[in-house]
Amino acid sequence: MAVAERVRVSGQAPAPTPPVPTATLPGLALAAAVASIGYGVNQLATPVSPMIVAILLGVLVRSLGGYREWMRPGLTFAAKGLLRAGIVLLGLQLVASDIVDLGFGPIGVVVVSVAAAWLTTRWVGRRLGLRPATSLLVATGVSICGASAVLGMNEVADGEEEDVVTAIGVVTVLGTLCMLLIPALGLLFGLDHTMIGLWAGASIHEVGQVVAVGGAIGAAALATAVVVKLCRVVLLAPLVALVAIGRRTATPTAEGHRSGPPVLPWFVVGFLAAMALRSTGLLPHQVVSSVSTAAGLLLAAAMFAVGTSVDLRTVTRSSGRALATGAVGTVMLAATSLGGLLVVGTP
C-alpha cells in the first residue's frame, strides 16, 4: 500500500522515520561494546575468538529477553554492513608471496584436502537431512577458516540466523578438539615440529586456534602453520564465487534469465583487492596490525547482531546432526591433509 493510501485509510500522517544514521547509533554502540568485550577476552585467551564471545553474548541477550526494539536498526546494519567491511579487511592479512613460497606440493595438498572435506561434508549433510544452508555453512567453516568463512559464505547462501549460529557452534567445538588432538597425534606419529605446524594449519578451523597451537609447539611450527592456514583462507573467495555461480545457474527467472547472487559479490572483490594491496609491501606493519584488529572488531560486532536474532530452540533441533556432519568433514580434512603432506614433504 502506498504512503498516500495509508494516510487516507488511517486519517493521519504516518510517523516520521528517523534518519538512518541516528536510528542505527544505539544498536551500533551496543555491538561495538560487545565486540570490545570479545577482543578483551581474546587478549587474555588467544584461542578464544572475539567472534565466538560476541555471538554467545548475542544469543544470551535474546534468550534472557534483553532484546529491545531500539537495538534493531543498528544491529541490522551491523549484521550486513559491518560484516562485509570486516571480510574485506581480512584480505590485508594475506601476502601472496608467503603462500607461493610454500611450493606447489603443500599448496596442492591444501586445495585437494579442502575440496575433499567440503564435498564430503555437503554429502553427509544431505544424507543426515540437514537444511541445505546449514550443510553449506558447516562445510565451508570446517574446510576453510571457521566462523569467518561461515559469515562470508552466508552472503551468497542466504541462510537464516539459526543456520549461521549452528555452523559456528559446530566449527568452534570441532576446532577446539583439533587444537588438542592434532599436536598430540603429531607427536605420537613422530612428526617433526615443522610438519606438525603444516598439519595444524591445514586442518584446524580458526586462525586464532592455529596460532595458539603453532606458538605452543615452537617458532618453526608457528611460521608454517600460519602460512598454510592463510592459504586456506585465500580459497574462500573462489569457493564463494563457485557457489554463487551454481545458485545463479540453478535459479531461472520467469523470463528464463538466470538470477541469484552476483558471481563475485563486492566484498569478495574487496577481499582480493586488499590482499593485492598487502602483497605490494607498501603498507607499514603498524597499519596492517591495526587493520587486522579492526577487522576482528567489525566481525565480532556483526556476530553479536546475528546472535540476537537466534532462537535457541531451533538451533538445538539440528545441532546434533550438524555436529556429526562437521565431525566427518573434519576427519576427512585432517586425514587427507596429513596423507598429502607426508607424500610431498615440507617446503
pLDDT digits (tens, 9 = 90+) for 62-104: 888 888 889 989 998 888 888 888 888 888 888 888 888 888 9
The set of residues, in sequence order, having a beta carbon less than 8 Å from that of 293 and lying 6+ positions away, is 39
Distance CA 89, CA 204 (A): 22
**pLDDT for 201:** 92
Please report which helix (H) or strand (E) contains residue 126, including its range: helix 104-127
User: In this prediction, what percent of the chain has a pLDDT beyond 70?
Assistant: 87
* 14: confidence class by pLDDT, cuts 50, 70, 90: very low
Nearest residue to 227 (alpha-carbon basis) of 99, 345, 71, 139: 99
**pLDDT for 12:** 43
Distance CA 303, CA 182 (A): 28
- pLDDT surpassing 80 at residue 2: no
pTM for the model stands at: 0.77
**pLDDT for 140:** 95
DSSP letter at 69? Answer: G
- Between CA 56 and CA 184, with CA 50 as vertex, the angle to 5 degrees is 95
- Between CA 193 and CA 202, with CA 197 as vertex, the angle to 5 degrees is 150
- Reading the block at residue 61, the C-alpha cell is 541477550
Distance CA 346, CA 326 (A): 28
Highest mean pLDDT range out of 10-14, 75-79, 305-309? 75-79
* 4: confidence class by pLDDT, cuts 50, 70, 90: very low
